[in-house]
Amino acid sequence: MRRIIAYILIVFLSFLLQTTVFQTIGSYLSDLVPNLLFLLVASFGILRGEKTGLLLGFFSGLMTDLVFGSYLGFYTLLFMFFGFMIGILFYQSVEPDHFLPVFAIIACGDLLFGFVEYVLLFLLRTRFHFRFYLLHVMIPEMIYTVAVAVLLYPFYLFLDEVLQTDESRRAKKFV
């Protein structure tokens, strides 16, 4: 229960920060923002597995679609699949407290996420200049996301540990 409340709070906060404070800061960084929601979904995919990843992805995406989409479901699907795939591939196969591989996963994941966005939102509308979008949107976004991950991922890790010790303590109490 506490975990669910924590998740709701983080999704909420990530979304709000991404659309407000980071936008203001981003207007000084060639108008780009780090993808906090992706960072959140990927982090908990690695920490807690595919189911947590996909549920967090579902709700993060739904929130994005609700506020900024002209129809619901696009980002819902995208975030959900990324959360699921990262969970399936990397949960329990990478050490969550070995930061370098985790950041590599987040970097590659965000780049792939940007690529899928490009294909679905731009390539399908005959915007063929891939190199430009790669150099001016996808890679800078990846760098920002990883830079923020350096600060936020340890916090997520810490939060997960706190919740886990809390849960195991409560479980013991009941036994």
Partner 1 sequence: MSPIIKKTGGEKFTLPGKYLLFILSLVAVALIMITSATDIMNSRAFTSLESALYPFQRGLANAGAWLIRRKIEIGNIRSLQAENEELKRQIDALTTENIYLQQDEYELTNLRRLYELDAQYQNFEKTGARIIAKDGSNWYQSFIIDKGTDDGIAVDMNVIAGSGLVGRVNAVGSNWARVQSIISDNAAVSGTLLSSSDNLIVTGSLELYKNGRIAWSKLVDPTDRVAIGDKIVTSNISDKFLPGILIGYVSDIKPDANNLTKSGELIPAASFEHLDEVLVILTMKQELSEESTGIEDEEEAP
Which residues here bind partner 1, judged by CB under 8 A? Answer: 12, 15-25, 27-28, 30-33, 35, 37, 48-52, 54-55, 58, 61, 64-68, 70-77, 80-81, 84, 87-88, 91-92, 114, 117-118, 121-122, 125, 127, 129, 132-133, 136-137, 141, 167, 171
CA dist., res. 27 & res. 85, Å (int): 32
SS3 sequence, the chain?
Answer: CHHHHHHHHHHHHHHHHHHCHHHHHHCCCCCCCCCHHHHHHHHHHHHHCHHHHHHHHHHHHHHHHHHHCCCCCHHHHHHHHHHHHHHHHHCCCCCCCCHHHHHHHHHHHHHHHHHHHHHHHHHHHCCCCHHHHHHHHHHHHHHHHHHHHHHHHHHHHHHHHHHHHHHHHHHHHHC
Instruction: Output 47 or 102, the one with its CB closest to partner 1.
Output: 47
Q: How far is the CB of 85 from partner 1 (least distance, A)?
A: 9
Q: Name the minimum Å distance from CB 102 to partner 1.
A: 18
Give the residue with the Cβ less far from partner 1, 100 or 123: 123
To partner 1, the closest distance from the beta carbon of 137 in angstroms equals 5
CB of 101 to partner 1, least distance (A): 19
Nearer to partner 1, 88 or 107 (CB): 88
**Looking at beta carbons only, is 30 or 100 nearer to partner 1?**
30
Quote the tokens at residue 153. 């991922």
| Least Å from the CB of residue 105 to partner 1 | 17
